[in-house]
Structure 1
Amino acid sequence: MSGLPAATVRRLQKLPQVPSVWEGDRHKLSGSPPMGSQTEGECILWVDGAQGVVRAMEVVPADSGFEPMVRTLIVAMERPHAASPARPQKIIVRDREVQFFLRGILHELDIKVECQPELPLIDEILQSFEEANERIPPPLPEHYVELLAGKALTLWRDAPWDYLEDHQILAIDLDHWDIQTLYLSVMGRLGMEYGVLFYRSLPSLKQFRQDAGQPDTPEEMEEAFLRQDCLYLTFQARNPELNELPDLDLADLDPEEIEPNFGTIHPLEGLRVTLQEDEAAALSVALEALHRFFKQYHRKLEDDFRPYQGRYRIPNPQEKGTTISVQVRTLPDVAEELLQLEGEEEEPAQTLLRDDLVPEGAQIGLGVLPWTTVEMLRRTGQWHPLPQSKLVKNGEGLPVVIVRTSRSKAKQLIENLRGEGGPQGVCFNTGVDPFDGDRYDLEIVQTGNRDLHLFGEFPEDDPVHSMARKRWERRCRDTGGYCGLVVAMGVNSTRPELQVRHILALFEMQALNPTGLGLGPMVRISRQLHLP
């Protein structure tokens, strides 16, 4: 066991020591979700017995050892929540092994460490946690869990996103549970997010489509998202690690690997990930009616979005033995109106972002190539300039986007880029996750066929990326707004720095402004990015 660094000890000794007794403990979180590789979580608490306040709290994996207790204690001393920095006179823990561990670590800080089986303050706090957890409603009413899961799986197998665009709206006439008609928009045509939005009114649907196409900031995009009035069903992978893969296409997974998520959005309530009984009943009936409609008309819908309608008698989940008459119909006039609203009459998919170009596992970064290296690549035929280029050879070199992968994948990427008309320009655009507020800096490349491709995704507050981007933009100003795209091999090389011999191609590009491409903030739904 190693002790605290001498510098840390001196820093903590400078804190005023108060005549207080703190309680510390770690407790398994009831119903806690898996952390990392299926590891249960535990909550570490440090509480000031004199003031009755929680000074620090942290959730850690259950198998993380005793060290997190020390780290959280240091936070409690130096950066406490709702209290002044201080060093306690004595701490009390429940576990004898923890006591011995802390005693060895803290002996230089003049802090007594005792052990007792009862910790009144912490026990009271943990009890309040348990009571609060019991008051949290389940995502679905108990008797709708299996019913809605089955309906969602049926919809997944129907796969309406294989032939319906998100502007091709269906109407579901229910006339039950205070809902006259639900207006349905299908997501997933581009292999990005998959799901269905059930708008409670047609004006709400149209307003969101209009608002989502006009935001200037991530905050405005998030506000537009939360102004929707709809129920929703989205899908994600059951394995949480798969959902973190940027190039994941859920359609490649088996149905058993897919998990549905239900919820509702309302302008006055915001996002809610639980459904009340009436909402669950309405969704179960709507999903069954949709399945029957798709079974009847999917072949015709694959050919054209014409006026179709079907009426079905659906079992009422709230009254056994009774049925509800439900009509499902297409709204081609609304689809045409939405196309005109978005200015996408000729090719609505052309302004959407693709993420199928960069090979899986590729390393993406920003850098600079010295002008001597650029000249060397020109002589060897690996330099691909833009026609009518006005590149200025100024500054330390050519700013570049670097894609590094295996040799075979690099060659395939070069071939694919040429098939797309070659890279023409690159820009950085904002992405936002409305569910947790995270923001991203998206690296987007436009090819000669005017398609937009996602090359990189970086947390907006990543200091390393932020600094690299600032240097890259400064270098672009030096070159008159020109830059390059390096496709290189050697991703598994023992030498991490890029070698000239690793470069297979250097494409010239322009540094673009996202506004000039008609891009606004992008929103993430069900862990995939969507361009409104």
Structure 2
Amino acid sequence: MTTLPPTTKNRLQQIPLANAVWEGDRRPLGNMASHLSEVKDADGECIIWVDGSEGAVRAMDVVPEDMGIEAVVRTLLRAIESPHHPGQPHRPQKIVVRNREIQFFLRGVLQDLDINVEYSPQLPLIDRLFEGFSAIEPAQPALPDIYDRAIKNVAHKIWENAPWELLADSDILRVELKGCELEQVYVCTMGMMSAEYGVLLYRSLDSLKQFRAAALGEHKSTAELEQAFLAQDCWFLNYEEPEEDDFDVAENEPFFGSLHPFEGMRYSLDEAEAKIVYAVLESLLRFCSRHRSALAEEPIESISQSYRITLPGKKTAQKTISTKVSTLPELAQELLNMGMGDRSDSMMPEVDIPIQEDLIPDGSLVSLASVSKELIEQLKHQPKTYCQASKVTPKGELPTIFIQTTRPKAKHLIGRIRDAGGLKAICFNPGHDPFSGEIYDLGLLQTGDSELFIFAEYSQDVVQQAKALEKWHQRCQKTKGYCGLVIAMGATGVNRGSPQAKDILALFEVKSINGEELGMGVLQLMPSFDF
């Protein structure tokens, strides 16, 4: 990617062009690390931009030595928009660098910004100023109050509407925008599987796919995942959870920002960005409210709806944006095929039921999910994965219980099931707590010796859990009751909550049954007294 987003380019074009020459460079930290209290690793590199006419540092960053060339652009944009004090925002007439690769790269990025990029083998100003600096946090420009209130208001409505109860992170929506600098964005909701709730608005479909592929790739280090995260091209809406002792906060507080390979992460939006984000979120809200029942189906069919969104402003000068929201079933399937399948469609909170002699190891992550036929075939040919295959192969994805724990506990769990004659069935049976009045569904595993073991408890009073269980039953109807149990390792590693194929140690294909087939009615929670 060698261009800036249109909104960013327009924002930069509005910043005054000054008759100034800047020097920019990227070089090893060396002894400079000892002068920076926040830097512990001397192997990093310093990116610095200096105004030659003022002899002042505009911006400086310390990055890992394997960070891409995009980091140079991120620091440059910060030097233009939010320089260190006392600098004022402006564009330089010329910048000088001593690296040919950086020179050619910046020429492509800075097109239409009237900034000349020249090469010089020496940068005397940076050489003299390289030691003794301290970083100063840049101030972010404030968003006009009318837009700040509007996007926060629609964010609160989205929190109440909870689109992540309907849409998995693979159920991407395309929002087309007429008359805007950006013709379309791709909306991804977070919350069914992850611990965070929010909405990502990708400005590029390629960026969405690239990040998904990078995040699902094997053998990724923390630094590589961080670099993939910063390489996204999107706006984001996230919600900050209130502190447990903060009784004045009634709900999660929304916050907005932008990610781009050249800008990095920015916790602010300008007015042009806020207009687009507001229009997209308002369209998402209306679309999910209008088509809630259709979006609850699995898989989600092709749906499109057009809207006219009134932008915030005085009534006498309000403008509208025409939008069109569409589901993308083919893209959803493509994203599912990249990894484990639509696990996030019904991700449950961590479940650790403290029942004596419970089959499920303490600290396990239990979730309802589904896996693709391709993954099933891969697992059956994976030597380290134990597979109990069924005689019938259902069409489409297989509804699956995921149990993720540590490797030793996973192997012990697999051994217990095999010693008990394998897995016979998966069952959900209603239960009732007469003391609290709570109604719940117990998830049960029946082994080959007809013993029953609880693997999870799903409260009917928790919307997310009830929705996940409803989708489980819908999927099982489509597969005529065939389902599976996956046991995976990695509960304490980087793939915690998102096991990859290499983490799966067992797959059991069985039938899903109801409690009536086992002669059970509604189970009553009874107290146990030890004397």
> Please, what TM-score do these two structures have when normalized by structure 1?
0.42
Which protein is bigger by CA-based radius of gyration? 1
> Please, what TM-score do these two structures have when normalized by structure 2?
0.43
